[in-house]
Amino acid sequence: MNNEYITINNRDYKAKEFDFNFLCMLGENNIEVGEIRKKVIPSLRCYIAYCMGADVETAGEEFNKHVIANGGGFEEIMEVFSAKAEESDFFRALTKTETQETTTATPKKNTRKEKVQPE
């Protein structure tokens, strides 16, 4: 597997790193970092657009042609997408920060017992 390029319609595009710009593109398409696994297809479309230097509509149209006319599939692009997510220092740092913030923001149950004063 080559993690350096994605091929769509017999054209190679540099497989870009998951960075701030890509995460902004996800956000512009209403996908939060924590939702990437739940919204795989829209996330993948954003990634294809990002690598192509195109908007998501154009990327979607090109990917349609890739699958229908050229017999392409998701597997190769998904492998690159997953590898880039795992390799991304920025993505890892951001996910770690979000996990810490979630843990910190989770309210703790009050285990202190109040003393009741007799009347």
pLDDT in tens, 73-86: 888 899 999 999 88
pLDDT at 112: 56
Residue 109 lies in a domain: no
**Residue 53 domain-assigned (yes or no):** yes
- Residue 115's pLDDT band (cuts 50, 70, 90): low
Residue 119 lies in a domain: no
State yes or no: pLDDT of 118 exceeds 70.
Answer: no
- Specify the 3-state DSSP secondary structure of 6: strand
Q: Rounded mean pLDDT of the chain?
A: 84
Cβ neighbourhood burial of 90 (10 Å; 0-12, 13-18, 19+) = middle
Number of domains into which the chain is organized = 1
Is residue 50 packed enough to be buried (19+ CB in 10 Å), middle (13-18) or exposed (0-12)? buried
Distance CA 18, CA 4 (A): 13
Domain enclosing residue 16, as ranges: 5-95
Q: What are phi and psi of 16, to 5 degrees?
A: -85, 155
Backbone φ and ψ of 75, nearest 5°: -55, -55
In a domain, 85, yes or no: yes
- Residue 10 placed within a domain: yes
Assess whether pLDDT exceeds 70 at residue 33.
yes
Is the pLDDT at 30 greater than 90, yes or no?
yes
Q: What percent of the chain is predicted at pLDDT more than 90?
A: 53
- Closest by CA to 74, choosing from 52, 105, 95, 43, is 43
